[in-house]
Amino acid sequence: MNWKLLPNIITSIRLVLLVPLSFYLSAGHYEVAVYIFFIAGFSDALDGYLAKKFGWVSRFGSILDPIADKALLVVTMAILTLKGEIDLLLFICVAIRDIYIVLGAYVYYRNIGPFDMQPSWLSKFNTFAQILMVTALLVSLSYYPVSAEIHAWLAIVVYLTVITSALHYGWVWGSKYREAKNSLSDNNLNE
3-state secondary structure of 3: helix
Distance CA 142, CA 85 (A): 13
Share of the chain above pLDDT 70, in %: 96
- Total number of domains constituting the chain: 1
- The H-assigned helical ranges of the chain are 6-16, 18-26, 30-54, 59-82, 88-111, 121-142, 148-190
Structural domain of 83: 3-190
Look over the chain and give the mean of its residue pLDDT values, rounded to a whole number. Answer: 90
The domain that contains 31 carries what CATH number?
Answer: 1.20.120.1760
The predicted pLDDT at position 93 comes to 96
Render pLDDT for 132-179 as a digit per residue (tens, 0 to 9): 999 999 999 998 899 999 999 999 999 999 999 999 999 988 888 888
Between these two residues, 1 and 34, which has the higher pLDDT value? 34
Higher pLDDT, 95 or 52: 95
Q: What is the pLDDT of residues 96-133, one digit of tens each?
A: 999 999 899 899 889 888 877 677 889 889 989 999 99
What is the C-alpha to C-alpha distance for residues 99 and 90, in angstroms, rounded to an integer? 14
CA nearest 173: which of 105, 97, 102? 105
